[in-house]
Amino acid sequence: MTGSLLLVPNALDLGAEAGPLDEVLPAGVLRRAASLGHWVAENAKTTRAFLKRVDALVPLSLPLQSISIVELPRPRKGAPPGTPPTELGPLLAPALEGHDLGLISEAGLPAVADPGAALVEAAHRAGVPVLPLAGPSSLVMALAASGLNGQSFAFAGYLPVEASERAARVRELESASRRLSQTQLVIETPYRNAALLAALCATLAPATRLSVSCGLTLAGGWTRTQPVAGWRTAPVEMPDRLPAVFSFLA
């Protein structure tokens, strides 16, 4: 019998002061995480920190030093976005040997806006059952809090860093939003939050509704939604260490 690939959600407090884990993750998820002896992760160090937080609530089934944590390989330099980094089949060896295998991201749900999606694809090809566990997703939470169209939406990921390319991409997404009545969601590395907000305010039409969610699930987290014209007249200072989700609807 094969084990399953468990998609284990993480808290959204990466880069911030850690809060109580049991306030954002269900008890059942904590129990499943505590039972696993094999993990695939973006970062082994932060995964060990996560497991220490779990252990404080639900004792781990194995000593932490005995738990296997294998990091996802990095994408090849210069490869197009979405290109699988390497052959990922060997990472599934514990599941193929009958052990449940955890997949965890740095924050939120693994495989959503996350390189772990390639491992999930490999699991399906190998016949390994995939089991997603319930937990916070910043994209879905931001969409729900935005008041924008939650019936039709698209996640566009990261925008180009170069100003003219970024502006062209924003106009392209705004056109699609207007044509389809579709909410567009984008994200950025936290230290570029302010630059992205400034670019959106400068490029989007004044009547386009823009929503920003910052520090979701954290103390002081917030969501603000209003037409771009309102953002221009009453700007906000964006933190450069907290993740944010930007959504707009033309």
pLDDT 10s digits, 157-214: 999 999 999 999 999 999 999 999 999 999 999 999 999 999 999 999 999 999 999 9
Q: Which amino acid is at 211?
A: S
Task: Give the end of a domain, one of 78, 99, 132.
Answer: 132
Q: What percent of the chain has pLDDT over 70?
A: 95
Task: Tell which wins on pLDDT, 17 or 221.
Answer: 221
Task: Give the end of a domain, one of 132, 162, 177.
Answer: 132
Average pLDDT in the 46-51 region? 95
CATH code: domain of residue 231? 3.30.950.10
The predicted-structure confidence for 51-79, as pLDDT tens digits, reads as follows: 999 999 999 999 999 999 999 987 665 55
Residue 7 Cα distances to 10, 20, 185, angstroms: 10, 20, 23
For residue 72, give the nearest of 49, 47, 95 by alpha carbon: 47
Indicate if 243 and 142 belong to the same structural domain.
yes
Mean of all residue pLDDT scores within the chain: 92
CATH code: domain of residue 23? 3.40.1010.10
With 0-12 / 13-18 / 19 or more C-beta atoms within 10 angstroms meaning exposed / middle / buried, residue 48 is: middle
Indicate if 241 and 123 belong to the same structural domain.
no
The number of distinct structural domains making up the chain is 2
Q: Token pair for residue 99? A: 């052990």
- The DSSP bridge pattern shows strands 101-104 and 5-8 to be parallel
Most confident of 14-23, 73-82, 208-217: 208-217
Average pLDDT in the 222-245 region? 94
With 0-12 / 13-18 / 19 or more C-beta atoms within 10 angstroms meaning exposed / middle / buried, residue 115 is: middle
What are the DSSP E strand ranges found in 105-182? 130-132, 153-158
Indicate if 169 and 236 belong to the same structural domain.
yes
Average pLDDT in the 101-125 region? 93
pLDDT score, position 20: 87
Contact (Cβ atoms closer than 8 angstroms) between residue 42 and residue 58: no
Task: Tell which wins on pLDDT, 145 or 14.
Answer: 145
Contacts of 129 (CB under 8 A, 6+ apart): 2, 4, 5, 123
Which range of residues forms the domain containing residue 119? Answer: 5-132
Distance from C-alpha of 115 to C-alpha of 110, rounded to nearest angstrom: 8
Q: What percent of the chain has pLDDT over 90?
A: 84
pLDDT score, position 89: 85
Indicate if 76 and 101 belong to the same structural domain.
yes
Angle between helices 44-55 and 27-35 (to 10 degrees): 120
Indicate if 172 and 112 belong to the same structural domain.
no
Indicate if 117 and 201 belong to the same structural domain.
no
pLDDT score, position 74: 74
pLDDT score, position 85: 52
Contact (Cβ atoms closer than 8 angstroms) between residue 41 and residue 51: no
pLDDT score, position 106: 92
Indicate if 128 and 157 belong to the same structural domain.
no
Task: Give the end of a domain, one of 132, 162, 180.
Answer: 132
The answer to whether residue 92 scores a pLDDT higher than 70 is yes
